[in-house]
Amino acid sequence: MQELTHYINGAHVKGTSGRFANVYNPATGEVQAKVPLASKAELDNAVEIAAEAQVAWSKVNPQRRARVMMAFVGLLNRDMDKLAEALSREHGKTIPDAKGDIQRGLEVVEYCVGAPQMLKGEFTDSAGPGIDMYSMRQALGVTAGITPFNFPAMIPMWMFAPAIVCGNAFILKPSERDPSVPLMLAELLEEAGLPKGILQVVNGDKESVDAILYNDTIQSVGFVGSTPIAEYIYGTGCAQGKRVQCFGGAKNHMIIMPDADLDQAADALVGAGYGAAGERCMAISVAVPVGEETADRLIEKLVPRIEALKVGPYTAGDDVDYGPVVTAAAKDNILSLVQTGIDQGAELVVDGRDFNLQGYEDGFFVGAHLFDRVTPDMDIYKKEIFGPVLSTVRAASYEEAIALAMDHEYGNGTAIYTRDGDTARDFANRINIGMVGINVPIPVPLAYHTFGGWKKSAFGDLNQHGPDAFKFYTRTKTITSRWPSGIKEGGEFNFKAME
């Protein structure tokens, strides 16, 4: 069995804690590797090395740091297939989906090539008599990120690329469920010219997380995962005086108005609800058709599309719609919530509980489920299922529909399908959710805008990537200067006798 490593100071380093976690092949249920879980001492050692390396890196001018990102982009494109296969093997998502995971991270790296522009300060001439005032953005020092299993390439790059190009060192604690791709990314960055010790990959569990939070050298922490853990990391990190941004759970609603193109809406719901087996923080998990007729027609269009979905391992080809979920525990949790939905009175229109894939009976596959007549008091509405389950909540009016999304505790993403510009404009202006799609089911912003939810989906003042990333990973220093009056007449050419 393969034993994975940490990546410290430019080398693969075996764990010394004696603790390991199993890395599964989700399609077969087999353990394919074990990953070391770092102790506090191992994490602290990685931070110490990073802090020493960061001093010189912060003095490298932004243009040269940006050139490392340029080279990294080329290497990501070169190794796209290799990275995608490794990602699919540990996560279970299809190869096209894995390439999308890498591509969306790559786009943030491309944005970071513009670091010289983003890091420019401001200058005011003659702010007062003989006084100039200017500001500069400076690196924080050692920064850290704790990333989830569902995007093992994209989210680490969303964090470490802007952090590093700003002149920081970065400690990455990836998910122990699919750790191979983060290790590969660290290798590629050093091939691109990054000095050793600037990106350290330390695998671990809660012990490593707490070691990050309580390490005085680490200046900032980023996190993506569930809301309870986001709240813990945010509260603990802030109490330790760190700059912290945490992104938590989601329950994303898509409102379907009576004037919507229902074929387009149904296609969007199937892709957004079941893609990646629903293991996306931006997945649409709640469909809100407005009016009984709209709801009936929508369900009629959804059922055959959902029943036609092809579920299988990534090795079965690019026409597979989605693969297994990441662990047996995740599968059990999804099916438990499905049963709770039935027990609480929801109508299970498409029942995937008996799904079984021949030859992969021990894999973590979950069939597609569609609920109708879900109500806001049900657990399947209130909780993030993180699986291939779509709930339909019927609304009698637009106002009732928008109130559902606004009243939910999560506020990550939302969408509306309509042909009416006034409705769309009203929705975009009123909704208390961070990312909004108008006839777009998964409104993840491009790299030069920022990504972030509202309410219990996000904690902290700044979003991920875009301009906010350069603010998060730097401190602004403002200088006020005045020089005493000196000789302005130029050189003197006459010889003066010594006095």
Domain CATH number, residue 220: 3.40.605.10
- The whole-number pLDDT of residue 269 equals 98
One-letter amino acid identity for 44? D
pTM of the complete model: 0.94
Residues 15 and 38 sit within 8 Å (Cβ to Cβ): yes
Residues 413 and 371 sit within 8 Å (Cβ to Cβ): no
Residue 184 main-chain phi, psi, to 5 deg = -65, -35
Is 497 contained in some domain?
Answer: no
Is 462 contained in some domain?
Answer: yes
394 & 471 share domain:
no
278 & 223 share domain:
no
Q: Whats the size of the chain, residue-wise?
A: 499
Is 309 contained in some domain?
Answer: yes
221 & 359 share domain:
no
308 & 349 share domain:
yes
364 & 256 share domain:
yes
Q: Pick the catalytic residue: 112, 166, 246, 281?
A: 281
Which of 385, 409, 438 terminates a domain? The answer is: 438
Average pLDDT, the chain: 96
Is 447 contained in some domain?
Answer: no
Indicate which CATH number applies to the domain containing 427: 3.40.309.10
Catalytic status, residue 281? yes
User: Distance between terminal CA atoms of the chain?
Assistant: 87
470 & 370 share domain:
no
Task: Domain count for the chain, please give it.
Answer: 2
Which of 438, 466, 490 terminates a domain? The answer is: 438
Is 203 contained in some domain?
Answer: yes
Tokens linked to 84: 């995608």
Q: What residues make up the domain containing 192?
A: 2-248+457-481
Q: Which residues pair with 322 in a beta bridge?
A: 311
Q: How far apart are CA 396 and CA 48, in angstroms?
A: 59
Which of 410, 438, 466 terminates a domain? The answer is: 438
Q: Crossing angle for the helix pair 80-91 and 95-112, nearest 10 degrees?
A: 120
220 & 347 share domain:
no
Is 490 contained in some domain?
Answer: no
Is 488 contained in some domain?
Answer: no
290 & 149 share domain:
no
258 & 234 share domain:
no
147 & 209 share domain:
yes
321 & 394 share domain:
yes
Q: How far apart are CA 240 and CA 181, in angstroms?
A: 30
Burial class (CB in 10 A: 0-12, 13-18, 19+), 243: buried
Spell out, as residue ranges, where the chain has pLDDT lower than 50: none
350 & 366 share domain:
yes
Is 368 contained in some domain?
Answer: yes
